[in-house]
Amino acid sequence: MSAKLKKGLVQIYTGNGKGKTTASLGLALRASGAGLKVCVLQFIKKRPYSEIKALKKIKNIEVAQYGRGCFIRKKPSPADIKCAKQGLEKAKRVLASSKFDMLILDEANIALKLGLLTPEEIITLVKMKPRNVELILTGRSCPGRLFRYADLITDMREIKHPYNKGVKARPGIEF
Distances (CA, A) of 165 to 106, 114, 161, 173: 27, 28, 8, 16
> Residue 124 maps to which CATH number?
3.40.50.300
Q: Are 42 and 65 in contact (CB under 8 A)?
A: yes
Angle of the 119-127 helix axis to the 78-97 helix axis, nearest 10 = 10
Q: What is the pLDDT along the chain (175 residues), one digit of tens a residue?
A: 456 899 999 999 999 999 999 999 999 999 999 999 999 999 999 988 899 999 999 999 999 999 997 777 789 999 999 999 999 999 999 999 999 999 999 999 999 999 999 999 999 999 999 999 999 999 999 999 999 999 999 999 999 988 889 999 888 888 8
Q: What per-residue confidence (pLDDT) applies to 171?
A: 85
Residue 26's Cβ-side half-sphere holds a number of Cα atoms within 13 Å equal to 7
Q: What per-residue confidence (pLDDT) applies to 172?
A: 86
Range(s) of the domain holding residue 110: 10-157
Give 167's contacts (C-beta < 8 A, 6+ positions apart).
none
Number of domains in the chain: 1
Sign, Cα dihedral of 72, 112, 14, 144: positive
- 47 belongs to a structural domain: yes
- 102 belongs to a structural domain: yes
Burial class (CB in 10 A: 0-12, 13-18, 19+), 61: buried
- 3 belongs to a structural domain: no
Q: What per-residue confidence (pLDDT) applies to 84?
A: 97
- 121 belongs to a structural domain: yes
Q: What per-residue confidence (pLDDT) applies to 1?
A: 46
- 175 belongs to a structural domain: no
Q: What per-residue confidence (pLDDT) applies to 144?
A: 96
